[in-house]
Structures are given as structure tokens and as C-alpha cells.
Amino acid sequence: MRSIIILIFLMLLLLAVTATAETPITSEKDTENDLAIAPNDFSAALNFSYVEIDRHAQNAPVSAEATVESLAAYLVRPAKNDREKARAIFRWITENIDYNVEVFFKGGSGATNSEDALKSRKSVCYGYSDLFLSLAREAGLQAVKIRGYGKGYGYVPGRSFTGPFNHAWNAVKINGSWYLVDSTWGAGYVSGEGKYVRIFDDHYFMTPPSQFIYSHFPEDARRQLLDEPLSKEEFENLVYLEADFFNLGLMLGQRNGTINAESQVNLSIFAPDDVLMMAKLEYADGMAAGDDLTFCQRDGERYDIYAQFPGAGNYILKAYAKRRDDPGKYDSVLEYGINASSGGGVGFPMTFEAFSETGAYLFEPLEGKLEAGSSYLFRIRVPGAGSVAVVCGDKWTHLASRGDLFEGNATARTGDLLVFGKFQGEGWDGLVRYEGG
């Protein structure tokens, strides 16, 4: 009797261990089928610090980088969970693999398997994604490589994708849910001059599918990981949003990337208070259309962007943004394609740095060229200003104030007409410049 009880106990223990053990990957096909139906929980990616695991990945010794097996073993050594394993792999690849621009511009793919990418430290997207896949599997993670179309180097809004797929990335299973990863774009980008620029972009690790779809379209629609997958035509019609659009917390309502307009277009983008924006207009071939053809200003939680067209034709409207306290340059965040049916606008006034820094908003006049001898009503909101004046030659016209709203009439003359604001201190800061003639 005692032996029977012991036998039953051992059988129950075996069943319990079997039930709680992680299901092994039996084949890539099984993993792909799982990917099509797995739920997504993106709360796991929020408010998580990767400082320690990133530092570990960036400090990998040469001895650990000899093989995929040795590198995977090193990278996951301090990892406490699958998320940290995937992060360590992503961070090492983005830190150590250069994009092979020579192969890219010759139209080939070069060596794209994980061993070659690890040895040469250079590849294109297929090598990046194969290396991520190999390291992930060696680390005990479920992962797949995904092929599709990417809105990358040379993309123009409204472009249709045909022919062979031009990009590859990965999906990895973390804590029971699938997440999208692009280590190629997370490592850097190819500049307009055709040079590779290494700069780490956290956006491409565990990117929410609702953001990823603006730039990535997989061959299998299920791998969009969206409840309602988009068609290729819908993907092609989406506005071109870059990583910093999401990194800076911007939002917009106009998702269609191509806009049919007459001689002018007005757009609104919602932006946090600490974000500054600017815009410029180009012809469809990339040539600049003129600095005075766009005007960008904040109104509460949104930025209003205006663009005028010198004539009928096709244009690209680009928006740029940065943090207010960032001393660096504005980075590109979005592009719209514009089909203008007419043109002939006179352009907008030019603004100075203080205009955007203070959150000023110009109501009128919005035309950049004013007729000499004519009187114009100036109405401008300038938060924090004690006084605002319109200056033409040696004539100063101080505008009446109602809180932070300043307005009054002034007569234009030939030459520059400037609007100044006086803030704390004795000096005046330039806000807006018009051309009188």
C-alpha cells in the first residue's frame, strides 16, 4: 500500500511539472501560427528602465563576441526575464552592426546570415534581422523574421510599393505576447548624402503596432499585430511619420498622406507644451520651394501649419520638431504629399526664435509682403510680453494690450517692417518680420 501511494504521488508531481513547463518551439511554422493569434499587452513596455541591461550589452568583451552561442550566453547572463533578454540582444546589435551602404546602393543584399553579420559587423536589414533571430533563439526566446515593405531611405509620400520586398525586421514573444522589433532602424539611418549615421533609436524596440504600421508593411497581414489589419493601399496612403513624431508625443487627425489642395493648405498637429515645431515646403523632386511659403505657430495644445504654393503642381510638406530645452537641431517628424491645383500666394512673414519660444500666435496680417503706404491691423498674442511694438524705419507703433493680446494699426513703408516684444529686462526681442514695398 505504501509503495502505491508513493507511486501515485510521483505521477502527480510529474504532471504538475509538465503543466507548468514552458512549451518548447517545435518549428518555425508553429511559431508563425502562434504569432498570428497571440494577444498584445503593451503595458509591459511602459515605464521600464533598461539602463543596467543596456550597459551590460554595450560592454560585451571581444571574447564573448566570437560566435552567436557565446554572445547570446553573455547577453542574457544578468537578464531577469524575457524582456531583458530581448533588450540586451537589440542593444548589442544596434551598438555594433553598421549598415552596409555600399551593398545597399549597388542594389544587392550581400551576406545576410547571422554568422556573416557577426563576423563583418556590417550588413543590410536581412542580416540585422537574421542575427536578432539567431541570438533570440539561442537565448531561449521565440522569435521570427518578417519581410515586407518599409518607408525608409528615398521614400516619397504617396509612393506605391511593387516588386520584391525591401525590408526585414523581427517579432519576439515576451511574457506571452508578441512585440515588434527593428534593430536596423534602431541602430541608425542613411542620410540624404548616402552616408550611414549611427544613432540609437529606442522607438524600434517593442514598438506598438498602431505606430509601427505607419512605416512597416509585412507580407503577411496577420503580422501587423493589429485587430483590423490594413491593406497595402491603405498603408501606402498613410502619412509618412518618422520615429521622432512618436518619441516627442505628437498626434494628428489627418492620416491620409496625400492632400489635394488649391493654393493653400492648413494643418493642425497636437504637441506637448515642451515641444517646438517648424515646417518647410519642397517640390516633389526635393528642391526647396521657398522659406516664406510655410508658417508654423502654436495655439494652445496644437500647432497650426500653413503652406502656400507658388503654382499648380506636386509638393512635399515637411514638419520638424524638438524639445524646448534641447539645444540641438529640429528633427524631421512627418511628411505630406500635396497636389496643388493652383498657386500664386505672396508668402508668409518670417518669424524669429522668440516667436516660437514664447508661444506667440499671429492672427493678422499673415501675408509676408505689405504694400507701402497702406495701413494694416496687427493682432498678435504674446504670452509673457509687457509691450509689443511694430517698427518701420524709425517709427515705432506700440500696440494696445488686453492681457497677452496686442493689437493696433500701423502703416507699412518700403523695407522691413518688424514686430518686437519686450519681456523681462530692458531689451526688445524680434518676433515677426514683414517686407514692405
The C-alpha atoms of residue 263 and residue 313 are separated, in whole angstroms, by: 10
**Strands 264-270 vs 302-308: parallel, antiparallel or unpaired:** antiparallel
Asked whether residue 14 is assigned to any structural domain, the reply reads no
Domain ends where: 238, 269, 284?
238
pLDDT at position 437: 83
DSSP percent split of the chain into helix, strand, coil, nearest 5: 30, 35, 35
Lowest mean pLDDT segment, chosen from 80-84, 165-169, 247-251, 424-428: 424-428
Cβ-in-10-Å burial (0-12, 13-18, 19+) of 190 comes to middle
Residue 355's pLDDT band (cuts 50, 70, 90) = very high
Residue 154 has pLDDT above 90, yes or no: no
Residue 346 has pLDDT above 90, yes or no: no
Q: Tell me which residue range forms the domain holding 265.
A: 251-340
Tell me what the mean pLDDT of segment 38-43 comes to: 46
When the pLDDT of each residue in the chain is averaged and rounded to a whole number, the result is 87
Residue 65's pLDDT band (cuts 50, 70, 90) = very high
- Whether residues 292 and 189 share a domain: the answer is no
Of 12 and 430, the structure prediction assigns the larger pLDDT to 430
Asked whether residue 275 is assigned to any structural domain, the reply reads yes
pLDDT at position 291: 87
Note the Cα 8 to chain centre separation in Å.
59
pLDDT at position 194: 81
Residue 26's pLDDT band (cuts 50, 70, 90) = very low
pLDDT at position 110: 64
Lowest mean pLDDT segment, chosen from 81-85, 266-270, 342-346, 427-431: 342-346
- Whether residues 154 and 203 share a domain: the answer is yes
CB 164 within 8 A of CB 183: no
pLDDT at position 29: 44
Of 18 and 228, the structure prediction assigns the larger pLDDT to 228
Residue 436 has pLDDT above 70, yes or no: yes
Of 142 and 156, the structure prediction assigns the larger pLDDT to 142
- Whether residues 104 and 189 share a domain: the answer is yes
pLDDT at position 28: 43
- Whether residues 210 and 331 share a domain: the answer is no
> Which of these, 242, 220, 244, lies nearest to 230 by C-alpha position?
220
pLDDT at position 313: 93
- Whether residues 46 and 183 share a domain: the answer is yes
Angle between helices 51-58 and 82-96 (to 10 degrees): 40
Residue with cell 513596455: 45
CA dihedral 259, 264, 268, 273 (to 10 degrees): 140
Residue 109's pLDDT band (cuts 50, 70, 90) = low
Q: pLDDT digit string (tens) for 250-304?
A: 999 878 999 999 999 999 999 999 999 999 999 998 888 888 999 999 999 999 9
pLDDT at position 285: 86
pLDDT at position 382: 96
- Whether residues 144 and 231 share a domain: the answer is yes
- Whether residues 234 and 274 share a domain: the answer is no
Question: The dihedral of CA 133, 136, 138, 143: what is its sign?
Answer: negative
CATH number, domain of 372, equals 2.60.40.10
In DSSP notation, 27-60 reads -HHHHHHHHHH----GGGGTT---HHHHHHHHT-
- The number of folded domains in the chain is 3
Q: pLDDT digit string (tens) for 369-398?
A: 999 999 999 999 999 999 999 999 889 999
Secondary structure (3-state) at 216: strand
Residue 38 has pLDDT above 60, yes or no: no
Domain ends where: 238, 263, 295?
238
- Whether residues 307 and 394 share a domain: the answer is no
Domain ends where: 197, 217, 238?
238
